[in-house]
Amino acid sequence: MADLLKSLKLLGDESRLRLLRLLAQEELSVAELQEVLGMGQSRISMSLSQLKQAELVDLRKSGQKHLYRFTGDRTITNLVEQAGAQVPEASSDDIGLKLVLKKRKDRMRAYFDGLAGRFGRDYVPGRSWQALAEMTFKLLPPMRIVDVGAGEGTISLLLAQRAERVVAIDNSEQMIAYGQEAAAKAGVKNLEYRLGDLEEIPLEDGSMDLAVFSQSLHHAIHPHAALKEAYRVLRPGGKLMILDLNRHGYEEARELYADVWLGFSQVELAEMLKKARFKNLDLAVVHREAEAPFFETILVTADKPN
């Protein structure tokens, strides 16, 4: 009984409860807990020390890091689950945990990239991003796709190879004219260009299977409104795909590229998507430029619930 009372006393602190709730889902380092919880290192370390003394957490060494894990029994597990669900920050903690785990995968991928053979790394005969994209797009099932902020329509033309129908939306009459001409020269019949705004997509409710934002969301005045519009035009079970810049500090981009936003952090994107009611979020950094200003590209996929 004494041990249970001691555990209950420790769980009475909301920050320790949030910490245990995360560790019940995944082993995490102090640095990762800091990133998710937004707390100072000393505060987290003190809480972990108290929880370890109460045998509610344990740690193991993994390389240069120490990973903490939850070791409470079934009674404590149930208490953490029930009480933790009522903590106001529980939802944002879950989002933060997913992003931290994604970063782990990104770091592992970067490590193995560095080990790969150097021969042909910068140039391999016959290999190009366009060729790889065309190969990938041919695997898509026929579907109705809207390319939001399509620009000249490079992505739209690739998608049209397999799509049932592609609608390319852009607010530039010149871009629309160029895209229409390119589609006509290529003999593409299932690609339609429409003049429109990212925040007011000129399509009917539930009319599309896939909505794509390829480096266009950071041009939206109100990106959250653009995502809500994408949700509106997607059918139940439809999918959203975003390629955009990770948040950066290159202020010149506002003048050079007419960027309204200097990219978005993964947390910002996740929160906007959640508010727009998308589910099954998957976010990852998929490309890092080797030269200044070292832009990073984030790939996001999400679903509109059935």
Quick: pLDDT tens for 79-117: 888 887 788 888 898 899 999 888 887 776 665 465 454
Q: Is 216 left (phi over 0), alpha (psi -120 to 50) or beta?
A: alpha
62 and 145 inside one domain: no
Contacts of 55 (CB under 8 A, 6+ apart): 3, 71
- Taking the C-alpha atoms of residue 213 and residue 241, their distance in angstroms, rounded to an integer, is 6
How many helices and strands, by DSSP H and E, does the chain display? Answer: 12, 9
188 and 155 inside one domain: yes
> How many folded domains does the chain comprise?
2
Q: Residue 223: what residue type?
A: P
- Taking the C-alpha atoms of residue 295 and residue 215, their distance in angstroms, rounded to an integer, is 12
Q: Is 187 left (phi over 0), alpha (psi -120 to 50) or beta?
A: left
pTM: 0.60
Instruction: Cis check for the bond before 293: say yes or no (omega within 30 of 0).
Output: yes
46 and 138 inside one domain: no
136 and 249 inside one domain: yes
Q: Within a domain: residue 7?
A: yes
pLDDT, tens digit (0-9, with 9 covering 90-100), for 146-156? 999 998 888 89
41 and 168 inside one domain: no
Which of 113, 145, 171 terminates a domain? The answer is 113
Question: What is the per-residue pLDDT for 118?
Answer: 47
Percent of the chain with pLDDT over 90: 48
Structure confidence at residue 237 as a pLDDT band (50, 70, 90): very high
> Which tokens belong to 8?
């209950």
259 and 151 inside one domain: yes
Q: Residue 112: what residue type?
A: F
Torsions phi, psi for 101 (to 5 deg): -70, -35
Question: What is the per-residue pLDDT for 161?
Answer: 86
Structure confidence at residue 63 as a pLDDT band (50, 70, 90): low
* Domain limits for position 212: 129-303
> Which tokens belong to 184?
């006509």
Question: What is the per-residue pLDDT for 280?
Answer: 96
101 and 149 inside one domain: no
| Terminal-to-terminal C-alpha distance of the chain | 47
29 and 158 inside one domain: no
Q: Are 302 and 239 in contact (CB under 8 A)?
A: yes
Concatenated DSSP letters of 57-82: EEEEEETTEEEEEE---HHHHHHHHH
Structure confidence at residue 130 as a pLDDT band (50, 70, 90): low
Enclosing H/E stretch for 151? none
133 and 262 inside one domain: yes
Mean pLDDT for the stretch of residues 247-262: 91
Q: Within a domain: residue 184?
A: yes
Question: What is the per-residue pLDDT for 279?
Answer: 97
283 and 148 inside one domain: yes
CATH of the domain at 159: 3.40.50.150
Q: Are 162 and 150 in contact (CB under 8 A)?
A: no
CATH of the domain at 100: 1.10.10.10
